[in-house]
């Protein structure tokens, strides 16, 4: 695969900046180098935070209307470059091109439009106490450090960039080192849209170097992180030193509960959907929990459907499941499956890399015979690997569903609205889907319970996080 013409430099103060050190960015499609990227460290981070801090006072004073106008101009730019962004993202992270074209990149543009429009309506009625007016305002907080993962690079970055910019904050983004490219293209889009220099900055590089320096900078007033639990711990420890407010969107081990009264076709469809993005979806319902009496029929129907999924090049419109992100990650996935098999689990589907394709393709896998306390049931694999357990009745279903340290999402499939209400109320999860999956209104809160996260973003919750809320109390004016 030919190298891409994407600039792998940092974006600081409205300029491309190189670093003496670089790293190779590989495509998961064939593990070939597609770009050479600047490897930032403390020096580049300090320069980016300087630029963001310098740009902050004037950006914070910009009217809401002007900020909304610029966010819409960025969305226009994303839409103009939609194909380029989609193709670049597919080469860089291996997710399906058709998903990027139809779903992901339109959503990137929508992230900007949504927060632009929401900003214009942001407000609260005044409170009054003994004639004193209490007026609530959402003040810009300052420089925000945004740190993002590789599984949905531009979508997850813009989910943070858009509300931060709308809020009147300035941004330093540290994209994931396995997928640095679409962020770089977004920098061009922001410049074309006329965003003032220094309002949006990027430092490329590794987590332990660029990321760690960024979250430790005392001038940073917000840290919003999406990624894994171990990294979140390191970031939270760094944030503690400066008492920097932080928002953490982390991993999951979400259940998909299928009750005997479920529409079986729907249940199978929803279960097969968990292989999307080669299983590299934080919200994926990777633990299939099926009511005992339905388990045989469900397993037969599910394995037949899943075995027919087409695995291959993510640019081919016929492909359903593409590659995993990196050789190290593929080996990690395989390690989970091997250890589970050694403990007695059976792979009724898949269970190994796809030898026909070579490279980084892991076969969609279903493991049965798994122990409730085993690693494969408790830990996030982040690959196309599902487990199947059975339950008897609601009580056991809820107990199994809530039995991990995570609480990101849960899906339940049932024909009974009463059961849906009872079970949903008892599930520990930031999002519960009933007879559906992955649908969400951007006005709703998003985040995880337990080790799946700290705080909520989405809708006005994003503004609450990215702003300093202020109550101005005014005494009655003397007559």
Q: How far is the CB of 145 from ligand NAD (least distance, A)?
A: 9
DSSP 8-state assignment for residue 278:
G
The label of the residue with tokens 């979140």 reads 232
In the numeric block, which tokens belong to residue 278?
């080669």
Strands (E), 81-162: 127-129, 132-140, 143-147
Q: How far is the CB of 15 from ligand NAD (least distance, A)?
A: 22
390 in contact with ligand NAD (CB under 6 A): no
Which residue number, 142 or 149, has a Cβ lying nearer to ligand NAD?
149
Q: Print the binding letters for residues 107-146 with ligand NAD: x by CB under 6 A, - otherwise.
A: ----------------------------------------
Q: How far is the CB of 230 from ligand NAD (least distance, A)?
A: 7
Q: Print the binding letters for residues 282-301 with ligand NAD: x by CB under 6 A, - otherwise.
A: x-------------------
176 in contact with ligand NAD (CB under 6 A): yes
Distance between CA atoms of residues 249 and 226, nearest Å: 5
Q: How far is the CB of 74 from ligand NAD (least distance, A)?
A: 22
Distance between CA atoms of residues 82 and 106, nearest Å: 8
Q: How far is the CB of 191 from ligand NAD (least distance, A)?
A: 23
Which residue number, 29 or 220, has a Cβ lying nearer to ligand NAD?
220
Q: How far is CA 407 from the centre of its chain?
A: 15
Which residue number, 275 or 298, has a Cβ lying nearer to ligand NAD?
275
Distance between CA atoms of residues 395 and 374, nearest Å: 21
Q: How far is the CB of 453 from ligand NAD (least distance, A)?
A: 6
- Tell me if 250 sits within 8 A of 232, measured CB to CB: yes
Among the listed ranges 71-79, 174-182, 397-405, 432-440, the one in contact with ligand NAD (CB under 6 A) is 174-182
- Tell me if 360 sits within 8 A of 94, measured CB to CB: yes
As a residue count, the chain comes to 479
Which residue number, 81 or 174, has a Cβ lying nearer to ligand NAD?
174
Residue from 439, 440, 444, 441 nearest 460 by CA: 444
Which residue number, 126 or 208, has a Cβ lying nearer to ligand NAD?
208
Interaction residues for ligand NAD, span 393-432 (CB under 6 A): 408
- Tell me if 395 sits within 8 A of 332, measured CB to CB: no
In the numeric block, which tokens belong to residue 159?
């989910």
In this structure, the strands spanning 467-474 and 287-291 are: unpaired
User: Among 93, 99, 151, 182, which residue sits at the site for ligand NAD (rule: CB under 6 A)?
Assistant: 151
Q: How far is the CB of 173 from ligand NAD (least distance, A)?
A: 9
User: Among 302, 382, 433, 437, which residue sits at the site for ligand NAD (rule: CB under 6 A)?
Assistant: 382
Number of residues that bind ligand NAD (CB under 6 A): 31
CA distances from 142 to 23, 164, 170, 281 (A): 31, 9, 6, 31
Distance between CA atoms of residues 257 and 162, nearest Å: 34
H or E element: which one contains 77? helix 64-80
Q: How far is the CB of 126 from ligand NAD (least distance, A)?
A: 35
The label of the residue with tokens 């960025």 reads 74
Catalytic, out of 282, 291, 457, 467: 282
Distance between CA atoms of residues 352 and 364, nearest Å: 9
Distance between CA atoms of residues 137 and 295, nearest Å: 54
Which residue number, 183 or 262, has a Cβ lying nearer to ligand NAD?
183
436 is catalytic: no
Which residue number, 140 or 279, has a Cβ lying nearer to ligand NAD?
279
Helix axes 64-80, 105-121, angle to 10 degrees: 170
Which residue number, 61 or 443, has a Cβ lying nearer to ligand NAD?
443
Which residue number, 116 or 281, has a Cβ lying nearer to ligand NAD?
281
25 in contact with ligand NAD (CB under 6 A): no
Residues 6 or more apart from 233 whose CB is under 8 A from it?
Answer: none
Q: Give the max Cα distance, the chain.
A: 85
Distance between CA atoms of residues 294 and 390, nearest Å: 9
User: Among 149, 255, 383, 458, which residue sits at the site for ligand NAD (rule: CB under 6 A)?
Assistant: 149
CA distances from 367 to 228, 299, 422 (A): 23, 11, 29
Among the listed ranges 29-37, 108-116, 165-173, 244-252, the one in contact with ligand NAD (CB under 6 A) is 244-252
Residues 6 or more apart from 302 whose CB is under 8 A from it?
Answer: 268, 271, 272, 288, 366
Helix axes 64-80, 82-93, angle to 10 degrees: 70
Q: How far is the CB of 255 from ligand NAD (least distance, A)?
A: 15
Catalytic, out of 177, 249, 291, 457: 249
- Name the closest residue to ligand NAD (Cβ): 207
Q: Print the binding letters for residues 202-241 with ligand NAD: x by CB under 6 A, - otherwise.
A: ----xxx--xx--x----------xxx--x--xx------
Among the listed ranges 66-74, 169-177, 195-203, 289-297, the one in contact with ligand NAD (CB under 6 A) is 169-177
461 in contact with ligand NAD (CB under 6 A): no
Binding site for ligand NAD (CB under 6 A): 147-151, 156, 174, 176-177, 206-208, 211-212, 215, 226-228, 231, 234-235, 249-252, 282, 380, 382, 408, 448, 453
The residues annotated as belonging to the active site are: 249, 282
């Amino acid at each position: 695969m030919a190298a891409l013409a994407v600039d792998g430099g940092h974006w600081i103060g409205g300029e491309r900046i190189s670093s003496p050190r670089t790293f190779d960015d590989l495509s998961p499609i064939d593990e070939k180098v597609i770009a050479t990227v600047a490897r930032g460290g403390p020096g580049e981070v300090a320069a980016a935070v300087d630029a963001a801090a310098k740009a902050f006072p004037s950006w914070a004073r910009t009217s809401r209307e002007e900020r909304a106008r610029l966010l819409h101009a960025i969305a226009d730019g994303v839409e103009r470059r939609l194909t380029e962004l989609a193709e670049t993202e597919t080469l860089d992270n291996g997710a399906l091109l058709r998903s990027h074209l139809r779903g992901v990149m339109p959503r990137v543009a929508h992230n900007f439009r949504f927060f632009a429009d929401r900003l214009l309506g942001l407000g609260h009625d005044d409170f009054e106490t003994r004639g004193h007016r209490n007026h609530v305002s959402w003040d810009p907080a300052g420089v925000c450090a945004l740190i993002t993962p590789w599984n949905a690079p531009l979508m997850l970055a813009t989910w943070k960039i858009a509300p931060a910019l709308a809020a009147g904050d300035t941004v330093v983004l540290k994209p994931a080192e396995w997928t640095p490219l679409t962020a770089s293209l977004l920098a061009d889009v922001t410049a074309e849209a006329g965003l003032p220099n220094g309002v949006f900055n990027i430092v490329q590089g590794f987590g332990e170097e660029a990321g760690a320096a960024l979250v430790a900078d005392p001038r940073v007033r917000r840290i919003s992180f999406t990624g894994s639990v171990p990294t979140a711990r390191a970031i939270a420890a760094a944030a503690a030193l400066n008492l920097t407010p932080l928002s953490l969107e982390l991993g999951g081990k979400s259940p998909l509960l299928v009750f005997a009264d479920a529409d079986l076709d729907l249940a199978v469809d929803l279960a097969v959907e968990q292989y999307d993005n080669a299983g590299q979806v934080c919200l994926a319902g990777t633990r299939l929990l099926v009511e005992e009496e339905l388990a045989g029929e469900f397993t037969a129907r599910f394995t037949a459907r899943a075995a027919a999924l087409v695995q291959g090049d993510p640019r081919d419109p016929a492909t359903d499941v593409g590659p995993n992100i990196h050789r190290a990650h593929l080996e990690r996935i395989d390690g989970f499956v091997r250890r589970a098999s050694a403990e007695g689990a059976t792979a009724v589907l898949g269970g190994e890399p796809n030898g026909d394709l070579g490279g980084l393709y892991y076969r969609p896998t279903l493991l049965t015979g798994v122990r409730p306390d085993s690693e494969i049931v408790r830990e996030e694999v982040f690959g196309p690997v599902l487990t199947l357990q059975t339950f008897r009745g609601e009580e056991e279903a809820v107990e199994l569903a809530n039995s991990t340290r995570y609480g990101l999402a849960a899906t339940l499939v049932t024909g009974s609205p009463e059961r849906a209400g009872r079970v949903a109320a008892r599930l520990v999860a930031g999002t519960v889907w009933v007879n559906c999956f992955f649908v969400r209104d951007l006005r709703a809160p998003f985040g995880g319970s337990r080790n799946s996260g700290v705080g909520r973003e989405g809708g006005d919750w994003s503004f609450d996080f990215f702003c300093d809320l202020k109550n101005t109390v005014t005494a009655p004016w003397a007559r």
